[in-house]
A = this chain, B = another copy of it.
Amino acid sequence: MRNLEEALEDIRFALLNGGDAVTPFLSLEPADQAQALEELSEEERDHIFANLDIGARASILEELPEDEAAELIEELSPAGIAEILDETSHDVAADILSQLPEAQATSTLKQMEDADEVRPLLQYPPESAGGLMTTVDLVLKKDQTAAEVIETIRAYEVDANSPYYLYVTNDAGKLVGVIGLRSLIVSQPSAKVEEFMVSDVHKINVLSDQEEVAQMMKKYRLALVPVVDSEDRLLGAIFSDDIAYILEEEATEDMYKLANISDTDIQVWSPVGFSIKRRLPWLVVNLATAFLAASVVYFFEETIQRAAILAAFLGIVAGQGGNNGSQTVAILIRGIALGQVELKDVREVLNKEILVCLVNGAVIGAAVGLGAWVWQGNPALGVVVALAMIMNMVVSGLAGTVIPLALKALRFDPAASSQVFLTTITDSLGFGLTLGLAAFAMWQFGVNF
């Protein structure tokens, strides 16, 4: 295997000097070829791709994200696309077709040899088990012997994508068992499949969500999982090498949502218009809540006129409450995603969380209070901000715990909106507590700040 960086230098050099860029490109294996293409400019990319044979093109499409794969071939004629997609695995072909314009996809499919295998895969949503699965070509029957099976495998055209597990179905097409190549090798040639197959098979329904698939394959460490319909008929299988991508996608999703981004498709290189459309809505939502918090401050306008210094501490009290709450939210979002916690645990989690926030609140509150006192030489100010801070920290911990669990219980996505609710609470409360306590001290005890 060539080193990607070296090869890229040779390729770029060849492209600049009209030399042969294809040979260094082909010295890479498909996964690196795909990455190399992503690093090249669009013209360079198209130039190289145009000079590859069908097989090489197909194996690159296998490695690219489906949208990029579609981009690479959308210029080609339906016949040309069909020729390539016939060489890719069926699930990849289906994923790419679903990215092409309706008309182009239809006419491409018409001209594909594997149309009959690929078409059924197109009917399932891309994030479902059906969207992830590929077709299973080699299916066994219970009464075949080990020797017969080995013969079938020999006769059968084997490629890197052929699985290490073979499924057994009955005449109705229902999944009745699975054998691994290992047990095949170690069993007597005359042994019947039913004698050494495992009949208690992990399987997943074709409509299950991809996250469910990923968590199941991860938990039971499955290299391959069979996909069945409601009648247990074998429809296809999902390879574990997709799981890493799914889990990363789901993790990115949660992380983005905490940062108020609603769409994982956004990444560094997304087009500007797309980024604006996906980022703006959340800013607008946050703006509404920000006005809510602002009205709390406005309510105390008179107080601030008399003690403008309070304005300097509003951000500290509100902000720290927000930071503390975000910590809690992040921990709960992750806990929910990994299935460690649900609504029924709320009291137990709260007890723990309140303790944590009381301690951290006391420390931070004391620090803020002392800071205010020393800075402004005004002990009363220190007491006010210290009290406001402690209360805001504890409430933010409560809110950070209850909000995600409640949203989850109400079947909303906890990651998506927890942060907005939290900020509204911590800001409004932070402002209100600080100014309210100060006002109270002023009007009741004639304290000055």
Contacts and interface: CB of A to CB of B under 8 A. Distances in A.
A13 interface: no
Interface string A191-220: 000000000101000000000001001111
B304 A272 contact: no
Interface stretch (A95-103, A171-179, A286-294): A286-294
A341 B295 CA distance: 41
A332 B164 contact: no
A442 to B, nearest CB: 14
Contact of A315 (B31, B318, B368, B375): B318
B326 A259 contact: yes
Contacts of A31: 219-221
Contact of A185 (B185, B287, B291, B311): B185
Nearest to A303: B308
A276 interface: yes
A329 B183 CA distance: 50
B181 A352 contact: no
Interface residues of A, number: 109
B327 A261 contact: yes
Given A297-B311, A332-B268, A356 B276 contact: yes
B259 A324 contact: no
Given A223-B223, A244-B247, A283-B323, 12 more contacts: A153-B185, A153-B186, A154-B185, A247-B248, A255-B255, A260-B327, A266-B331, A267-B338, A269-B341, A280-B360, A293-B316, A314-B314
Interface of A: 1, 29, 31, 35, 150, 153-154, 158, 162, 164, 180-186, 200, 202, 214, 217-221, 223, 239-241, 243-245, 247-248, 251-252, 254-256, 258-261, 266-269, 272, 275-276, 279-280, 282-284, 286-287, 290-291, 293-295, 297-298, 301-302, 304-305, 308-309, 311-316, 318-320, 323-324, 326-327, 329-335, 338, 340-341, 345, 349, 352, 355-356, 359-360, 363-364, 367-368, 371, 375, 423, 427, 431
